[in-house]
Structure 1
Amino acid sequence: MAITRRTVPRGDVDLSVLDAGGDGPLLILLHGLAGSATEMVATADALTNSFRVVALDQRGHGRSTRRPSDLSRSAFVDDVVAVIDLFSAAEPVALVGQSMGAHTAFLTASAHPDRVSDLVMLEGHAQGGRPGEAAAVGTFFASWPTPFADSAAALAFLGDSPLSRAWIADLVDADGGLSPRFDADVMAAILEDVHRPQWTAWESLTVPTLVVFGTDGMFSSAQRDELIARRPQTRRADLTRGSHDAHLDATDEWIAALRRHLVGERPSPTQPTSGPPSRQ
């Protein structure tokens, strides 16, 4: 897959967009907090035979502006609209997001239903978070002893997991070592806004929507059920494995669920299958 990068200026922010190419209508991939477009490459690669796929480094992340002045949810939504305007001004697009990216995606679909044809949320929710949770996440990122001397030092500190490997792959040479492409205080500020309940936006969604949960994901059974109960037309797929980052640790099953929803493709007998797609 030939991947290119494009910068989209938007006020005081430069947005970096990874263009995976492909044929068909536009599909935009949105990563989670402290991630970047690069962790969505496997998902992009699986979809380019049906879509033109781009993945956005959301503001404060990746190769986009690291410390933007506006970290509001509306700013993130407007960034997605700017990408839609650039790549598909005349036609609505599919939005696929994980965690924070899922949150951005459904807020965009709610605010701009004429611009979005389909929505898929991996481990996303509208409930908000617990007090102090965002600050704790910021404290965790601030605890990283950066710059790391090398990738091995980063691995020793972060541990060997699909998520930590994605973080390590995204480190950048800086300050005599390897550093993350994000700042801890920016992550905490972003998450504080993500953790505000957004039930009105969720319940007002009119676009076809699938929510996908990893078996060992972030949300309890009651939380998953509430999301569907508040919008019963939502389709739901529960994976048989995978964490909150199922796009990294249950990639094949995640992609199978994604393709079933977006293009109606059933998995082959050798592909893993998700649980029954009950209401979302």
Structure 2
Amino acid sequence: MVVLLHGLAGSAQEMVATATALSDGYRVLALDQRGHGHSTRRPGDVSRRAYVDDAAALIDTVVGDGPVSLVGQSMGAHTALLLAAWHPRLVQRLVLLEGGVGGGEDSSQQLGDWFASWPMPFPSRQAAVAHHDATPIAQAWAQDLQERDGGFWPRFDADVMQAAIAAVAEVARWAEWEQVQAPTLLVQAERSYLDAAEIERMLQLRPGTGHVVVPDAGHDVHLDQPQAWARLLRRYLDTGHVPSGDQSPHAG
């Protein structure tokens, strides 16, 4: 069983290609996390504990005692890291795509302002894509828009996104990172959002951790380079080994 956790302002929809690439060998679940997609739009709690509890409840309900291979991107990777630390019995293998320990500079206000600045509603999905320069993440967002009230609207609210990502920035979870027992693969983009010193320290603290950098990709690796991402993920899930040629000196 593989469980996929999307990033901030995303949804399970953007994980469909990843799930499809794994579907011939694995049962795959993709969760709309609270405040996103078809989940509760304005949850009363957007703490890190709440997000982790949701994912843990999904695994407990569907799988029972687990464990699963847990794959998260960006904020979803942070959730996955905490789940693996707090519920080790549920996680057999952990993959963090463009995700780290959190903490650091809090950009939540800027992100909240940016989401709030979108010209709502968009008259069409095509207009939404064009507004965001036709990037792969823009296409994913456009596919997930809800048609209502004379246009196309996001399935999330800017203030909820701001609060959710602010919780990630509150504290760097180094203690939780060291508590993770599951074999782990860190996947970075060539144009990564992650701090190089943070990744270096993560690898030093858990020297058996695999590390892959995907060429010609930005933060949304799974959308920018879906085939390369699917290949390396499948190889890791099938064998537990970092794909040949992409292995960092720290990978084990």
TM tier, smaller? over 0.9
- 2:197 and 2:104 map into 1 onto residues whose CA distance is 15
**Residue in structure 1 matching 2:182, options 204, 207, 210:** 207
Structure 2-normalised TM-score? 0.94
Query: TM-score scaled by structure 1?
Result: 0.85
Q: What's the offset of the Cα at 1:240?
A: 1.9
2:102–2:173 CA contact under 8 A, matched in 1: yes
Bigger helix fraction:
2
Contact 1:240 1:274 in 2 (8 A): no
1:72-131: CA deviations, max 9, x gaps? Answer: 111111101111122110331110010011011110010000111110010000042303
1:32 touches 1:98 (CA, 8 Å); kept in 2? Answer: yes
- Which structure would you say has the larger RCO, counting Cα contacts within 8 Å and 6 or more residues apart? 2
Equivalent residue for 2:39?
64
Match of 2:110 among 136, 140, 146: 136
Does 60-69 or 147-156 show the bigger shift? 147-156
How much has 1:265 moved relative to structure 2?
A: 8.6
The answer to whether the aligner puts 1:276 opposite 2:250 as a matched pair is no
C-alpha separation in 2, matches of 1:248 and 1:165: 9
C-alpha distance in structure 1 between counterparts of 2:240 and 2:140, whole Å: 28
Alignment of 1:88 onto 2:59? no
CA contact (8 A) 2:190 2:217 kept: yes
Q: Which residue of 1 aligns with 2:162?
A: 188
Match in the other structure for 2:152: 178
CA distance in 1 between partners of 2:122 and 2:60 (Å): 39
How many pairs are equivalent? 250
Q: Percent identity?
A: 47
1:1-280 map, 5 Å: 26-131=1-106, 133-195=107-169, 196-264=171-239, 275-280=246-251
Q: For the Cα contact (< 8 Å) 1:118–1:209, is it kept in 2?
A: yes
1:169-198 alpha-carbon deviations (Å, 9 max, x no partner):
110012210000000000000000111211
Q: Where has structure 1 moved over 4 Å in runs of 4 or more?
A: none
SS at match of 1:91: coil
Supply the RMSD in Å over aligned alpha carbons: 1.8
